[in-house]
Every structure is written in structure tokens, then in C-alpha cells.
Amino acid sequence: MVLTRFFTHRYTSGRDSAAAATSNVVSSNATASCGSAYERVAAIKDAVVSLHEGRASTREAALSSIIAALEGFVLRRCCASIKKGAARESTLALRAVALLAVTVRRGGGGAVAKRIMSDTRPLVSRIIRESTDASLLIAAVECLAIVAFVDVDADNMDDTEACLDSIWGLICPAARTTATASPRVFAAAVSAWTLDGRPRRGGGRARRHGGLLYSDCRAVRIAAGEALAVCIEIKLLTRRKNGELLEKFEDRAADLSVEAAGAGVAKDGFLEQKNLFRKIVSFLDGGEPPVSSVRTSASHVLATSTWTDLVRLSFLRRFLAGGFLNHIQGDGLVRQVFTVKGNEIAGKLPAARSKQEVNGGMSTEAKKEKQRGLKKDREASYEVKHGSVTILQ
């Protein structure tokens, strides 16, 4: 009995001591990890506050801290949310990674873009293969398209092709092991695939878009039309090799350009579809690609004159939403990524013209004259209402 008590007390107390020591180590590690995370967040907050300082060196140091945080800690946490988070958390993390890729692209000689590509592509590709959540799938294909687009000038195009292969798994149902994607996901996948204009196996895959022109969803038809226009422009489809396909495309584009908005026909995207396919019909008849322009400031205009740049600009406008103008102003994303030729950046408009447009179509002198007239009218109205006082000496 005594021996039993001795051995029980000895070995049980030893195990309890070891367990307590292990628990203390784990607890201290967790505390240190939490403390480190809080310190990183606090450092980012301090850096944001320092951006408002008057000294240039302080602002430069703050910007360096923010860049380091985005490229390191923030990217790692976003990848963790993509991997382990619920659908809503993963969706937000995917958008954050895509915005990060657009914002810090090619920093450090392309190292940042490559790091984002290597860290996120396996995670996003797995979501595309396995998920059935429409919102999550759309966020995944948009993120993958943006990351591939930002790294499109990379020396090794294998990563870009791997991204396109993953997106193609949504466009071609036979390549998926799960149920067929919804029309919204189809449209997003086709637009994402078109964002990168020069896939190596694009010629064979471009034929698939011809069948999507007969989809019941107007958004899918619009995305397929844009994809085919880009494929024709960059010679992935030619009349010599794909004459029959192009004839069918012309006939279908002509039908969609004059589709009637009868009773019971959905109105979503109706005018957008008609305008797009009218431009495509004109282009196939030997016309020029449509010209689109975006005013970036009171005196600068960005103009595109190719289908490739038009589709890219439309994609980025939809994705960036309210932050679109901030990203295309200056010498950032536009001049680094877009293929800008000669006069596509219209540059600074003549001062008289730019001021006239800002003033609602009036010249500066006419606006001043109008203001003087309004001032006189206000003074006359005041005198009528309150009376004029004349002081006699």
C-alpha cells in the first residue's frame, strides 16, 4: 500500500510537472505571438499617422514601414485567411490580395509580384477546383487574374499559364470535378481569362467562347464577345485558319446587336450588349477597334484604341470601383502595365480648352461676366427688399 502510494505520487507528480511546464511554454509562445501581432498593427497605425507629419524624412520612413508591412505581415495574414477562413473571410482576403498586387506591383524589381504569385496561386487554384460558393469563386478568379496580369511581364510565363489553366477549369465544365458553375461565375471567369491577352494555347480555347454566345445569360454573352474580339485582334483567330468559326461569330454578333427588348425579356445589360456587338460587327467588317477615353484629371485624358486595352480598362474599372481613378493617375499602373502607343495618352489639354470644359462649356471670360451679372442682380434684389439709404451731409 505504501509502495503504491509512493509510485503513484512520484510518477503522477512528475507527469503533472511536465504538463505544467509544457503548458507554460505554449502559453508564453502564444503570448509572444499575440504581442508580436499587436506590435505590427500598432506600427502600421503609427506609420499612417506619421504620413501627416510636416517633415519629409518622417513621411518617407512611414511609407517604408507601410510598404514592408504590406509585402510581409499583411500578405501572410491574407493568405492565412484564404486558407483557413470561412467563405466570407476568404472572399475579403482574396480581394485584399488583388488590391495589394495592383498597388505594390513590381516593387523591388518584380520580387513582390513574384512573391504574391507564389504564395497565393496554390491557395486560389484549390478554391477554384473545390468550392461551389459563387461569391467566393468570383473573388478567386478575379484575384488570380489580377495577380497574373500584374506579373504578366515575368520572364517565366509558366505561372501565368497555370493561372489561366485554373480559370479555364470554370469555363470548360468537363475540366471540373464539381457541379457546373453558375452564369455569374461563367461571366467572371471569361472576363478574367481575357484580361491576359496572350495565352499560348488561346487559339484552341477561343473556339469555346463561340458557344458561350448562345448562353441564356446576357453577362456571359457580353464576356464571350469581348474575349472573341480580343482573340481576333491579336491573331489567335484568323480567317485563313478559322473562317467557318468567324462566319458563325459574325452572324451571331449581328443578331445580338439588334436583339429586341420585348415583353418578358430581362433588361439587365440590354443596352450594353447591343452597343458592344454593334462595335464588334463594325470591327469584323473591316472597321477600326472602338476608341474609349477616361478623364484622369481636369487636364489629362487616357484613351485606348485597341480591344485588348479596352477590355483591360473595363475589367480594372469594375474591379477597382471607387479607387479606379487613384490607380490610373500619374505614371503608375497605366504606363507600367498597359500597352500605350503614341497618342493613346492624350496628355495635357490646351489650357483654354481644359478650363472651358471644367466651367461647363463656357470660356473663362464668359464665366466671369456671368458672375458679375449675378452679383449685380443680388445687389439690386437686396436694395429692393431692404431699401437704399442715402446719408446727407
Annotate 193-236 with three-state secondary structure: HHHCCCCCCHHHHHHHHHHHCCCCCHHHHHHHHHHHHHHHHCCC
Per-residue model confidence (pLDDT) at position 388? 54
The answer to the question of residue 3 being in a domain is no
∠ Cα 323 61 69 (to 5°): 55
Nearest-Å Rg of the Cα atoms of the chain is 30
- Of 151, 153, 90, the closest CA to residue 118 belongs to 151
Q: Residue 168: which residues within 8 A CB-CB, separation 6 or more?
A: 175, 189, 193, 205
Phi, psi of 293 (to 5 degrees): -135, 145
314 CB-contact burial (10 Å; exposed 0-12 / middle 13-18 / buried 19+): middle
Cα 11 to the center of its chain, rounded Å:
62
Asked if 360 and 173 count as a contact pair (C-beta separation under 8 A), the reply is no
Report the C-alpha dihedral over residues 357, 358, 364, 370, rounded to 10 degrees.
Answer: 110
DSSP state, residue 175? G
The range of the structural domain enclosing residue 364 comes to: 351-386
336 and 364 in a common domain: no
358 and 373 in a common domain: yes
337 and 364 in a common domain: no
The answer to the question of residue 382 being in a domain is yes
Rounded to whole angstroms, how far apart are CA atoms 45 and 220?
Answer: 43
345 and 295 in a common domain: yes
331 and 296 in a common domain: yes
Cα 99 to the center of its chain, rounded Å:
7
Per-residue model confidence (pLDDT) at position 345? 44
Other beta carbons within 10 angstroms of residue 133's beta carbon come to: 16
328 and 311 in a common domain: yes
The answer to the question of residue 191 being in a domain is no
338 and 371 in a common domain: no
Asked if 154 and 113 count as a contact pair (C-beta separation under 8 A), the reply is yes
Q: Compute the residue count for the chain.
A: 393
345 and 293 in a common domain: yes
343 and 378 in a common domain: no
The answer to the question of residue 257 being in a domain is no
The answer to the question of residue 344 being in a domain is yes
Domain count for the chain: 2
367 and 342 in a common domain: no
Model pTM? 0.70
For residue 235, is it left (φ>0), alpha (ψ between -120 and 50) or beta?
A: left
The answer to the question of residue 297 being in a domain is yes
Mean pLDDT by 10 residues, the chain (393 residues): 42 45 42 57 80 85 81 85 90 91 63 82 89 91 87 66 84 60 88 74 68 87 90 82 83 85 66 89 84 72 81 87 73 55 44 48 72 81 65 43
344 and 297 in a common domain: yes
Asked if 115 and 75 count as a contact pair (C-beta separation under 8 A), the reply is yes
Rounded to whole angstroms, how far apart are CA atoms 90 and 98?
Answer: 12
Sign for the pseudo-dihedral over CA of 365, 366, 371, 373:
positive
Report the C-alpha dihedral over residues 324, 325, 330, 336, rounded to 10 degrees.
Answer: 20
* Grid-cell match 501627416, residue found: 52
Rounded to whole angstroms, how far apart are CA atoms 40 and 61?
Answer: 15
Per-residue model confidence (pLDDT) at position 46? 81
The answer to the question of residue 367 being in a domain is yes
Per-residue model confidence (pLDDT) at position 47? 80
The answer to the question of residue 82 being in a domain is no
